Amino acid sequence: MGSPAPSEALLSLLRGQGPVLLLTGAGVSAESGLATFRGPSGLWEGRDPAELATPDAFAADPLGVWRFYAWRRKEAAAARPNAGHLALAALERGRDDVLLVTQNVDGLHERAGSRRIVRLHGSLFRLRCTEEGTEFEDLGSDLSPLPPRCACGALLRPGVVWFGEPLPAEGLRAAATAARRAVVVIVAGTSSLVYPAASLPVAAREAGAYVVEVNPEPTPMSSLAHERLRGPAGEILPRIVEAAGIEPARTA
């Protein structure tokens, strides 16, 4: 059985005018082989990653936290964008009113070719000085010796948003504005459990957007969506984009 076909209502909107908002979560990158850390098997060396992704954990054990993030950086650097990433990048190239808002920190959307991105949870490939607060990009896979230090001598931390920290205000404002203006919102590979990202499709629907959910399983957002396409994002997103008349890239 093939993946479900997008409706003519969705395709008509994608062929027409008006802003499009794309919201992606860990499920999109899972098809590239990256761990989602969900469920009973979602452990790293026997530890719950959620316990490592906090400011308190970093203060107590910066080396332990950095070992986890150095491993994640290495895994992300070795992964390749999948067909879902490539389809969303093709959709952006096909029109000038697409914004991609992602909860992912792996950089695969960028490597697929997406450029108009709001990274709600930051990036594994950005580092921040714990003393001066300056942040910079580092695309290398080797940060040894761990934990890495800034030129000023202070510890560096991953440029991601940890539990208990606020999301970047500028990015959140841009995402909220896009949600209010969008004519179509495609939500792919997210459990719709993490706020405030999960509130974006709600705001978009209240403003009149056509909301589409792409996910293998139902989520708390399913009842809100006008259209629910069940299956892997790597199969369904290319089908949507191709049916709308845009040919996704085949390689990254």
Which positions are annotated as active-site residues?
121
Q: Is 244 helix (H, G, I), strand (E, B) or coil?
A: coil
Return the structure tokens found at 95: 């029109």
DSSP 111-127: HHT--SEEETTEEEEEE
Chain centroid to Cα 121, Å, comes to 8
The sign of the torsion formed by the CA atoms of 46, 48, 53, 54 equals negative
**With contact defined as beta carbons under 8 Å apart, do 174 and 118 qualify?**
yes
> Which residue, among 72, 64, 147, 59, has the nearest Cα to 105 in the 3D structure?
72
